[in-house]
Amino acid sequence: MSALFLVTIGIENFLAVGALLFALGFAIALSKRNAIGVLMGVELMLNAVNLTLLTFSRFSPSDRPVAGATFVVFVITVAAAEAAVALALAVSVYRNRDTVDVDKINLLKS
């Protein structure tokens, strides 16, 4: 007979994963020089926030448990709009400057 181990995943586990994802996204956003890499870091941070919102929505005793999921839908909508606008700006900058390196983009200088 094999032993059956029951693993319970609590709020601490979800919050730890959310914090690790946010820290990873923050490190990526600050360390990348490529505009697309910075956008990927920002998206990872937004997904970490979504995980945290859903965690609090699931584990909190509330009369309206759907409120966390509603906020997540709004964050996903804003993230999609941010990604579309940012990618359009990156394509526009690449067409004008032939680079997406954040350090080399100085559009305000003449």
Cβ distance 79 to 46 under 8 Å? Answer: yes
Nearest CA to 91 out of 42, 36, 29, 43 is that of 36
> Right CATH number for 11-104 from 1.10.3370.10, 1.10.287.3510, 3.10.20.740, 2.40.37.10?
1.10.287.3510
pLDDT, tens digit (0-9, with 9 covering 90-100), for 17-67: 999 999 999 999 999 888 888 889 999 999 999 999 999 888 888 788 788
Q: How confident is the model at residue 90 (pLDDT cuts 50, 70, 90)?
A: confident
CA–CA gap between residue 47 and residue 76 (Å, rounded): 8
Q: Where are the domains of the chain?
A: 11-104
Nearest CA to 49 out of 82, 71, 31, 66 is that of 71
Q: Please calculate the CA angle 92-97-101 and round it to the nearest 5 degrees.
A: 90
pLDDT, tens digit (0-9, with 9 covering 90-100), for 66-83: 888 888 899 899 989 988
Q: What tokens appear for 66 in the block? A: 């759907």
